[in-house]
Structure 1
């Protein structure tokens, strides 16, 4: 979110405390709630895998509650990022909205997968999202020369 700092520099001085208050309090609530919610889901996946004595625990699908916590937590976190960008920068890339929808759309398909595959699907989604945003950011940012360092 390096671009947020640049855009906050352009905000009028009288509006800066209001923008900071809204962005850093309201939006961070959703960011933290998403992290807690998804970690609860990950804990349930680990519990599912660790406490089933049979070797088939990894092959059994997860319950809806666990999947909603896991995938819903990621969706809440990504929605918090959207809210933060909207409040701080006043613009949200469409890819952020697509990412929230994609996380929620993956949830029903994860219901029919084994536990490790459902966790792996979410991990692959997040790694792909981070990779896309990183390449997009490096393409948009100008090259830094040795003289600027």
Structure 2
């Protein structure tokens, strides 16, 4: 379908042809990852083969984008491009909320105050992760992509969204797994409030949030050429708290991580007050002007219509 749309555009068509071998190769590897592991006698070996296929797909897609370059590529609508990726990020954040429900397993276990408290804290944590991207970085990055033109726009769209969004989404999935394990532990019958979160739960929970924030910082650096030192400090603090979180009760570890993220939001609201206000004024002015142009353009449907008696 993409080739059919570009059939009369030779430059864009050549760019698509450069990407086609990788598309075919990745599709074949994904099919192999779905089918080959089931043919192996050892399930562990099958899992390794599957993960290996997936890793090769990711590496090949990243490498192809860099090798193919930006010549012939085009981002006709920066608004559509950014909105599509932001919605994918919203889906990943929604998955973390679903994991809270799966972890509590309310349909099969009696409801306890530990489960209610942990679920509420986990949802607050997911909301802070949403805020930390969509409050400033997301809207500002969208404006930056609007301002870029030509190959610079294509490179910015590729690096900031096609490349940096995938690690952010992956780390949100890891955070979701950690949240599910935490809620699952606290929802057990007669849970011990002093019991820490065992296994990979703490690294998944804390590491997922830290890597998500680091990915958002890289997105900010690529699109806005700026770096928020409060976020860098928060990432280092979260990583430093991993050994501590492994020795304290699971609910306390979840509250500790949420407290760091809520504190980061509070710091940014205070420190970046002027920048946030200017950004909101710019976004409001842009949307207002866009709506005015839409109304003017649609008015022709009424202007061209003959008067009805």
Taking structure 2 as the reference length, what is the TM-score of the superposition?
A: 0.43
* Larger of the two Rg values belongs to structure: 2
- The answer to whether residue 255 in structure 2 is matched with residue 120 in structure 1 is yes
Q: Partners in 2 of 1:64 and 1:101 — Cα distance?
A: 22
2: CA distance, partners of 1:13 / 1:125: 40
Q: Is residue 160–residue 219 contact of structure 2 (8 Å, CA) maintained in 1? A: yes
Residues of 2 paired with 1:81 and 1:65: CA distance? 23
Matching of residues 1-149 of structure 1 within 5 Å: 1=137, 2-51=139-188, 53-56=189-192, 58-140=193-275, 141-142=277-278
Give, in angstroms, the shift of residue 64 of structure 1: 4.6
1:66, CA displacement in angstroms?
A: 0.6
Alpha-carbon distance, 1:123 to partner: 0.9
Residues 23 and 55 of structure 1, relative CA distance in 2, 3 Å threshold: closer
Return 5+ residue gaps in structure 2 as ranges.
Answer: 1-136, 289-309
- Offset of 1:19 from its aligned partner? 0.5
CA RMSD of aligned residues (A): 2.1
Q: Distance in 2 between matches of 1:47 and 1:29?
A: 27
Q: For the residues of structure 1 that align with 2:144 and 2:270, how far apart are their CA atoms?
A: 20
1:42-96 residue CA offsets vs partner (Å, 9 max, x unmatched): 0000111123x3341x220112511000000001101110121122122222222
Offset at 1:14? Answer: 3.1
Contact 2:220 2:226 in 1 (8 A): yes
Deviation sequence 1:103-122 (CA, Å, 0-9, x none): 10111111121111000001
Q: Which has the higher contact order (CA 8 A, sep 6+)?
A: 1
